[in-house]
Amino acid sequence: MTKEIQARHQSDIVSALSKRLMNDVIEEIFNYLDYESLKNSEAVSSLWYNNLLYGKTWKKLLDRNLKLSEEWKEMLEILTMKWSLDYNDPKDYMQCRTICQHVGSSVLKLRRNWLEGRHSKYEFPNFSQPEIESIFWIRGNLSFEMNKHWIGRGQRDGSVIFWNRWTWEIKAVFEPSLLPTNRLIGCNTVRCLQFNDDIVVASYFGGSICIWNTHTTELLQVIDEMDLADHESHYIPINGLSLGGSPGNYWLLSCLSSPTGQDFVTLRQITNPTEEIPMVHRIVLDRKLRVLRLLVNETKVLLLLSDTEAKSDHIQIRATASMEILKTIPIPYSEMGVFHCRNGLILSGSRYEIQLWDAETAVCLRSVRSSNSIVFVKIISDKYWMSCNSSGKVEIWNLKAALDPTYTDSLMLYQLTATHLNFPLIWPVVRADEYQIALIPCRAKDYSGLHILDFLQLDKEEIDDDTGFISDQ
What CATH number corresponds to the domain at position 72? 1.20.1280.50
Mean pLDDT over 69-93 rounds to: 84
pLDDT of res. 21: 46
**153, 105: one domain:** no
Q: Where are the alpha helices (DSSP H) in 20-92?
A: 23-30, 35-41, 46-54, 57-68, 70-83
Instruction: Supply the range of the domain harboring residue 416.
Output: 119-139+336-454
Residue 469 pLDDT exceeds 90: no
pLDDT of res. 46: 74
Residue 89 pLDDT exceeds 70: no
Inside any domain, residue 306: no
Angle at 43 between CA 41 and CA 45, to 5 degrees: 90
CATH at residue 209? 2.130.10.10
**77, 169: one domain:** no
- Least confident range from 84-88, 216-220, 310-314, 362-366: namely 84-88
**425, 378: one domain:** yes
Inside any domain, residue 45: yes
How many structural domains compose the chain?
3
Higher pLDDT, 286 or 472: 286
**134, 156: one domain:** no
pLDDT of res. 186: 53
Inside any domain, residue 202: yes
Q: How far apart are CA 233 and CA 256, in angstroms?
A: 11
Q: Side chain identity at 467, as an amino acid letter?
A: T
Burial class (CB in 10 A: 0-12, 13-18, 19+), 69: middle
Burial class (CB in 10 A: 0-12, 13-18, 19+), 190: buried
Angle at 16 between CA 15 and CA 17, to 5 degrees: 95
Question: CA gyration radius for the chain?
Answer: 25
pLDDT of res. 390: 82
Inside any domain, residue 305: no
Task: Assign 191 a pLDDT band (cuts: 50, 70, 90).
Answer: confident
Task: Assign 215 a pLDDT band (cuts: 50, 70, 90).
Answer: very high
Task: Assign 12 a pLDDT band (cuts: 50, 70, 90).
Answer: low
Task: Assign 135 a pLDDT band (cuts: 50, 70, 90).
Answer: very low
Higher pLDDT, 287 or 446: 287
**134, 106: one domain:** no
**82, 194: one domain:** no
Inside any domain, residue 154: yes
**135, 246: one domain:** no
Residue of 236, 283, 241 lying closest to 256 (CA atoms): 236
Inside any domain, residue 467: no
Inside any domain, residue 319: no
Inside any domain, residue 416: yes
Backbone angles phi, psi at 72, to 5 degrees: -70, -40
Q: Over pLDDT 70: what percentage of the chain?
A: 76
Question: Does residue 255 contact residue 278 with C-beta atoms inside 8 Å?
Answer: no
Question: Does residue 85 contact residue 79 with C-beta atoms inside 8 Å?
Answer: yes
First to last CA, the chain: 31
Q: HSE on the CB side for 289, CA within 13 Å? A: 18
pLDDT of res. 178: 60
Q: How far apart are CA 391 and CA 46, in angstroms?
A: 55
User: What mean pLDDT value characterizes the chain?
Assistant: 82
Q: What is the pLDDT of residues 289-344, one digit of tens each?
A: 989 999 999 999 999 999 988 999 999 999 999 999 999 999 988 877 899 999 99
pLDDT of res. 131: 46
Question: Does residue 427 contact residue 434 with C-beta atoms inside 8 Å?
Answer: no
